[in-house]
Amino acid sequence: MTLIQEVLFELETDYFGHPYYVSGHALFTALARRLDDDAGRSLCVSNGVFLPGEYGRIVGTGSSFYTTGLEPVETYDDLFRFRDAAQRWLLDSRPRDAHNTLDLQSHGDRLTFSPTCRFGKPAENQYSKRSVTWHVHCYIHGEGDGVVPLSESVLDGLRVGGARNHGLGEVRLTDSQTIELESLDYSRVRNWDEDRFHIELLSPYVLRSQHPGAGDQSVPWWWDCPHELRRRRERLVVGDDVFDVDTVDHGQRVMFAGDDPVSTAVNGVRRVGTHSKFGFGEFRVRPAGDDRVTWSDEGSSAHRTRSRRSEEAEL
């Protein structure tokens, strides 16, 4: 049995770091400081994806929600509701692109991301302004039993990113829930008629790392790569030491060449490869031909425009 803890934080102060995610290593370090040595060594944390605290809807489900709390997770697809930086559940009937853009603040020589974005509204509205607060979504699990669920006292009030000693990067626990991976519904993966699947990389996959004890590795044999994969150099900061990490960049898709898509799907949530406990190596298994780009407002004019452009591009 694999138990994972889904966690949602609210950003309380300006954040100095990556614009669309908090690295798994930053979250791991903040959490490990609050745990005993054994639990800290067993801890595994995904990257934390930024999402706006906003109203949205998932296409085809009829369900709507506010991202100020977590929704029940019943299927494999539910795990990835907030793991796409495009946040396509945002409504096209609202300024979705603006709502999914972090606001910049200046702190001397540092450019940070504001925890709240404020928008003006037409004069005829009752209120002239509205605000959207940013949240951070991540998954936590342990390499052994008894690590999760982490308590509220451990999760609340973390600081992540740079300039933490100046008060930046503080997050407040909003919601959390535990999920048993093996009990989820994997029917979309298990019962796909064509038996062809894509691997969608949700975080970089490590090939080489300068960190002591980290071995080099090649692209997994069960990846069928139709083209040369885009590479990316990351950095892992441990105390005063900085280690270069060469990776296959996230956001790419390859064909699945293995024979057990369900087990592979479970492994993708737990992540694979070097530094997987720090958020590297996360992926999703999708049926080939699955529409990766789904929009919340199927009937909106913006959606129809996108659909028409896609059809024209295929001609």
299 domain residue, yes or no: no
Same-domain status, 166 and 200: no
Cis peptide before 72 (omega within 30 of 0): no
Per-residue pLDDT tens, the chain, 315 aa: give them.
789 999 999 999 999 988 778 999 999 999 999 999 999 999 999 999 999 988 888 766 667 888 889 989 999 999 998 888 778 888 877 777 777 788 888 887 888 888 988 877 666 666 667 788 999 999 999 998 889 999 999 999 999 988 888 888 999 999 999 999 999 999 989 887 667 899 999 999 999 999 998 889 999 999 999 889 999 999 998 888 999 999 999 999 999 999 899 999 999 999 999 999 999 999 999 988 766 554 445 544 444 444 444 444 444
H or E element in which residue 266 lies:
helix 261-270
312 domain residue, yes or no: no
Write out the residue range of the structural domain in which residue 223 sits.
190-287
* 8 A C-beta contact, residue 199 and residue 253: yes
Question: What is the pTM (predicted TM-score) of this model?
Answer: 0.87
Which tokens is 86 given?
Answer: 């495009």
The domain tally of the chain equals 2
Same-domain status, 116 and 134: yes
Same-domain status, 133 and 17: yes
Q: How far apart are CA 299 and CA 301, in angstroms?
A: 7
Listed residue (277, 9, 5, 287) closest to 146, CA to CA? 5
Q: How far apart are CA 80 and CA 78, in angstroms?
A: 5
Q: Which DSSP symbol is given to 77?
A: G
